[in-house]
Amino acid sequence: MYNPRFEKDVFKRDVRNNVKTLFRKEVEEATPQQLFQAVSYAVKEAIIDDWLATQKQYEKDDPKTVYYMSMEFLLGRALGNNLINMTAYKEVKEALEEMGIDLNVIEDQEPDPALGNGGLGRLAACFLDSLATLGYASYGCGIRYRYGMFKQKIRDGYQVEAPDNWLKDGNPFELRRPEYAKEVRFGGNIRVEYDETGKTHFVQENYESVMAIPYDYPIVGYGNHIVNTLRIWDAEAIVDFQLDSFDRGDYHKAVEQENLAKNIVEVLYPNDNHIAGKELRLKQQYFFVSASIQAAITKFKKKHGDISKLPEKVTFQMNDTHPTVAVAELMRILLDEENLGWNEAWDITTKCCAYTNHTIMAEALEKWPIDLFSRLLPRIYQIIQEIDRRFVEQVRAQYPGNEEKVKKMAILMDGQVKMAHLAIVAGYSVNGVAKLHTEILKNQELKDFYQMMPEKFNNKTNGITQRRFLMHANPLLADWVTEKLGTKEWITDLSKMSGLKEWLDDEEALKEFMTIKFKNKERLAAYIKEHNGVEVDPRSIFDVQVKRLHEYKRQLLNILHVMYLYNQIKDHPEMSFYPKTYVFGAKASAGYIRAKEIIKLINSVADVINNDRSINGKLKVVFIEDYRVSNAELIFAAADISEQISTASKEASGTGNMKFMMNGAPTLGTMDGANVEIVDEVGIDNAFIFGLSADEVINYEQNGGYNPYDIYNNDPDIRRVVDQLVDGTYANGDKEMYRDLYNSLLNNQGGARADMYFILKDFRSYADAQARAMEAYKDTDKWAKMALKNTACCGKFSADRTIQEYVDDIWHLDHVVINEDE
């Protein structure tokens, strides 16, 4: 893909000019941060050309458009990714080298835009990349948080949160679009009016409002000149401070609206899989949803007269229940502003909205207290009441006399608004994110809904973008893959990776493959040395678990097993043991006390083990501070083993598992989420599977759990590590520091069952899987083959495949091509 702006001389001149105009400096005097800005603005110019061309093409073709509605977009850095997708990375790297500038250093200047927590937010970012690459018109719709996901510091082994002021140096890639601002209203009351024709009108009075100002962020497709838009909304007060105003009422209102605006977009809630139920969060939801839907309707009406045709051109995908007020907001606009009747409005809405479920964790299910909800969104609440009334009528018609059904399925029940029910009732599609997860939704969590409307339910197994997680994260491997396949097609068609199977028996190729892994391990080792001050041996097995910290993900199982290994090594110094480095990375939600205890435990264990010279460095433990997209890229590329050890049935899909696989790390995990499909693709012999099945877990749960004392009393190795939580071994003699973790494993506590996540139950089989992995690693050739097999079999897990399925089964978008000559 030729672009004159990336001709070396042109690009170098642009960078020089930018340094001058932005900073009044010569390149040689500029700081790395200033160079980052100058380079980014030069890249942005190239992007803008394509962005304009894309919008023109859309204007002409009028393709159906998906609005991907999400509270979170975990984008990661843009510069490197944009260069890759514009196929200019190598050219630009060389041009900069000629100026004495190292592109890697420049890239490291960019703050990670971290407008997301974990899996759900990162998935949204991968989806935007694939939508643009496949040539589909799409908008990401979200919030421009002033502060993204907090920065994690580890102090004395504890997590400490620091604000993420990601915008402090400005954001070169974004574009402020005040001309597309929308007003969003909160609170007040609804007055009913009748006009001369007898028609009813609902008028919101005494409300507060804010202006939503869009910032557009380019999403560059790979090698196709398509640039889509992520539109994230900032809030501004509508009434400016009128300091000379003598009207106190006005003044107070002005202050209030100023505060409302400031607060709404202030910060991303750092909760993953757990609702805080805060009013401000609901404000955030309605704020970006209302602005986005208004913008979509405005855009549609510029071209089309007949609003009933909306479903032919527009579809709203709701990323979990967080944007589900979209359903009622669309109804409000159609009823109150377009003056449609209920049936017509409902018909349109239920053809435009679709819902993705990302979790079955009960504590993540969004329910809002009716009093809070109706106070904040009075008209929206009225509409939901009517949706609920009609739905309950339908349930009663279908299941006469079955009030149990009504209780279980109603949208409004027990003083709460149940967002998932609203999403399912109004959505034309309900999907899970991996086969197993969708089955659990259909047969357990959402069984009643599935029985009533089976046609809505479908699976869309998650995927990841190979542009970021192979090309950018692992350039050595990317080049090797291209060389071995003799083509770059894998970049946009990951199924081509299967061609690598031809090299599974080629000793030379396997050696090259493992050499690349080794170099990536050296790169990570250097990062660890710099950030943790810990020396790790790149020849040791890098066994990695990186993801949000949550009990169900069982980082505790992993670290207990490390404690067990350490005991073994101490007891039997002579036993055969391949040196291992256990790498952890995880943020805990700021208020999630037990998760934070687990972080402290990991760091304490690391401290003891890493400083015990008697074990000759056989075992190392590293906790990587501030795990985020940018360091994730280094980590995936360097991993030997991918830990995916959630309690079966709990992890909806997982996407980290796919990133490891792509980079040649076999999975050590449970039959949960997408692990099941990974094993399907790579074969059970190329993974290390252990633990209870989802059915077994669900069965135990339905029968009150199991008794962990049966294990504790009968397995001395397990008893020993559990006891080490409270004998001071890892707490400088403090016996109370980890008492809560100890209790969580052994004793029922209030509502919570002892060992809710089956850690002790799965321990032996986990230790066995670990031992099998170590044995396998000792056989270098066999291991290389297994690792390469993982890379070769990752084709299914491209987000390109996932997006094509969404397009075929749910969105029905039109494919768009930008003509290079125009």
**Contact footprint for ligand 26W (CB under 6 A):** 117-120, 123, 271-275, 320, 358-359, 364, 366, 433, 462, 651-655, 673
| Shortest spacing between CB 365 and ligand 26W, in angstroms | 8
The 3 state secondary structure assigned to 644-713 is ECCCCCCCCCCCHHHHHHHCCCCEEECCCCCHHHHHHHHCHHHCEECCCCHHHHHHHHHCCCCCHHHHHH
| Shortest spacing between CB 445 and ligand 26W, in angstroms | 13
In the annotation, is 553 catalytic? yes
Q: For ligand 26W, give the closer residue by CB, 51 or 797.
A: 797
- Measured in whole angstroms, how far is the alpha carbon of residue 356 from the centre of its chain? 13
In the annotation, is 659 catalytic? yes
| Shortest spacing between CB 273 and ligand 26W, in angstroms | 5
* Rounded Cα distance, 629 and 493, in Å: 23
Candidates 521, 548, 620, 761; catalytic one? 548
Output phi, psi for 378, to 5 deg: -60, -45
Nearest Cα residue to 760 out of 801, 794, 723: 723
Contact 476, 460 (CB under 8 A): no
Candidates 122, 521, 659, 761; catalytic one? 659
| Shortest spacing between CB 458 and ligand 26W, in angstroms | 15
DSSP structure class, residue 545: E
Q: For ligand 26W, give the closer residue by CB, 366 or 445.
A: 366
* Rounded Cα distance, 491 and 222, in Å: 8
* Rounded Cα distance, 51 and 56, in Å: 9
The 3 state secondary structure assigned to 157-212 is CEEEEECCCCCCCCCCCCEECHHHCEEEEECCEEEEEECCCCCEEEEEECCEEEEE
In the annotation, is 484 catalytic? no
| Shortest spacing between CB 558 and ligand 26W, in angstroms | 17
Strands (E), 50-178: 65-69, 138-143, 151-155, 158-162, 175-176
Residue bearing tokens 């009093």: 371
Q: Find the residue with minimal CB distance to ligand 26W.
A: 119
Q: For ligand 26W, give the closer residue by CB, 271 or 630.
A: 271
Q: For ligand 26W, give the closer residue by CB, 287 or 742.
A: 287
Q: For ligand 26W, give the closer residue by CB, 366 or 626.
A: 366
In the annotation, is 90 catalytic? no
Tell me how many degrees the CA angle 284-286-287 measures, rounded to the nearest 5: 60
Question: Per DSSP, what are the bridge partners of residue 643?
Answer: 668
Is 588 exposed, middle or buried (CB count within 10 Å of its CB: 0-12, 13-18, 19+)? buried
* Rounded Cα distance, 135 and 120, in Å: 23
In the annotation, is 31 catalytic? no
Q: In sequence order, what DSSP letters do the residues of 594-609 get, joined into one string?
A: HHHHHHHHHHHHHHHH
Candidates 44, 64, 283, 358; catalytic one? 358
| Shortest spacing between CB 268 and ligand 26W, in angstroms | 10
Contact 419, 387 (CB under 8 A): no
Q: For ligand 26W, give the closer residue by CB, 368 or 712.
A: 368
Q: In sequence order, what DSSP letters do the residues of 3-30 get, joined into one string?
A: -GGGSHHHHHHHHHHHHHHHHS--GGG-
* Rounded Cα distance, 360 and 363, in Å: 9
| Shortest spacing between CB 550 and ligand 26W, in angstroms | 8
Coil, helix or strand at residue 589: coil
Tell me how many degrees the CA angle 339-343-346 measures, rounded to the nearest 5: 85
Coil, helix or strand at residue 771: helix
DSSP structure class, residue 239: S
| Shortest spacing between CB 373 and ligand 26W, in angstroms | 15
| Shortest spacing between CB 436 and ligand 26W, in angstroms | 11
Q: Residue 738's CB: how many other CB atoms inside 10 A?
A: 24
| Shortest spacing between CB 76 and ligand 26W, in angstroms | 15
Q: Where are the alpha helices (DSSP H) in 453-506?
A: 466, 475-485
Candidates 77, 517, 547, 587; catalytic one? 547
* Rounded Cα distance, 299 and 233, in Å: 17
Q: For ligand 26W, give the closer residue by CB, 18 or 273.
A: 273
* Rounded Cα distance, 517 and 786, in Å: 13
* Rounded Cα distance, 554 and 545, in Å: 10
Q: For ligand 26W, give the closer residue by CB, 119 or 475.
A: 119
| Shortest spacing between CB 657 and ligand 26W, in angstroms | 9
Q: For ligand 26W, give the closer residue by CB, 365 or 485.
A: 365
Candidates 77, 322, 553, 600; catalytic one? 553
Candidates 655, 667, 729, 802; catalytic one? 655
| Shortest spacing between CB 499 and ligand 26W, in angstroms | 27
In the annotation, is 278 catalytic? no
- Strand pairing class (182-186; 208-220): antiparallel
* Rounded Cα distance, 568 and 717, in Å: 9
Q: For ligand 26W, give the closer residue by CB, 202 or 552.
A: 552
Q: For ligand 26W, give the closer residue by CB, 138 or 359.
A: 359
Residue bearing tokens 């893909």: 1
Q: For ligand 26W, give the closer residue by CB, 360 or 510.
A: 360
Active-site annotation, residues: 358, 547-548, 553, 655, 659
